[in-house]
Amino acid sequence: DAGVIQSPRHEVTEMGQEVTLRCKPISGHNSLFWYRQTMMRGLELLIYFNNNVPIDDSGMPEDRFSAKMPNASFSTLKIQPSEPRDSAVYFCASRLGDLNQPQHFGDGTRLSIL
Amino acid sequence: GQQVMQIPQYQHVQEGEDFTTYCNSSTTLSNIQWYKQRPGGHPVFLIQLVKSGEVKKQKRLTFQFGEAKKNSSLHITATQTTDVGTYFCAGLYNQGGKLIFGQGTELSVKP
């Protein structure tokens, strides 16, 4: 079975540019999560969706970050404009069922903003 | 706010030695999950503990959930080089319903 698929795997861009990260959750999973991982701050939850509806976006750093889930099989995390401090590994995870179920993580996108 | 503290941040052991990482929450957890992240990889679910005082084993790994459901530990007996990685606990609170990850414990094993 295919796991959570993220693209791109690596992204290097200059500050000020728009960055779009993509995620395809595991088929049938009804919750989707976006995390950011850095050495300083660890693994931070940015936003999560349940049945395509954003439930909690309190972890989104600021207005430069936005996330959408137009359907059950696709989500995007957009940063516009990007800044060097946004450099991190961004993980998408999905979950089937209720809160007690495990989250399945994608391979992540390693983002570097120059 | 809801926060899960995990210690130690790093642990270096000789192969064959034991390893333990601890998680603490100031408020009661609904359940706790444990994940392992290999270097350069992504977190992978290991196990979930739900009941007060619960103990679960996976081969050389032993997971415990405290009686008050505020702390948890992961113990690895006789570490192997394949155990290398970062171990995260993640607590689920009744309020909010989101998983809060600890800072992780990075384990390195010297052969």
**A53 contact B CB<8A:** no
A15-62: pLDDT as tens digits = 999 999 999 999 999 999 999 999 888 999 999 999 999 998 989 988
All residues at 6 or more sequence positions from B81 whose CB lies less than 8 Å from its CB, including other chains: B15, B109, B111
Cα–Cα distance, B5 to B101 (Å, whole number): 9
Q: In this complex, which of B42, B99, B104 lies closest to A91 when CB atoms are compared?
A: B42
Q: What is the pLDDT of residue B93?
A: 85
Taking a C-beta distance cutoff of 8 angstroms, is the pair A47, A62 a contact?
A: no
Q: What backbone phi and psi angles, to 5 degrees, belong to A98? A: -85, -175
> What does DSSP say about strands A53-56 and B31-37: parallel, antiparallel, or unpaired?
unpaired
All residues at 6 or more sequence positions from B1 whose CB lies less than 8 Å from its CB, including other chains: none
pLDDT at residue A1 is higher than 70: no
pLDDT at residue B1 is higher than 70: no
With left for phi above 0 and alpha for psi between -120 and 50, is residue A112 left, alpha or beta? beta
The minimum CA-CA distance between A22 and chain B, rounded to whole Å, is 16
Q: In this complex, which of A99, A100, A107 lies closest to B42 when CB atoms are compared?
A: A107
For range A1-23, the mean pLDDT: 95
B28-53: pLDDT as tens digits = 999 999 999 999 999 999 999 999 99
Q: What is the pLDDT of residue B99?
A: 87
Given an 8 Å threshold on Cβ–Cβ distance, is B96 in contact with A56?
yes
Given an 8 Å threshold on Cβ–Cβ distance, is B98 in contact with A102?
no
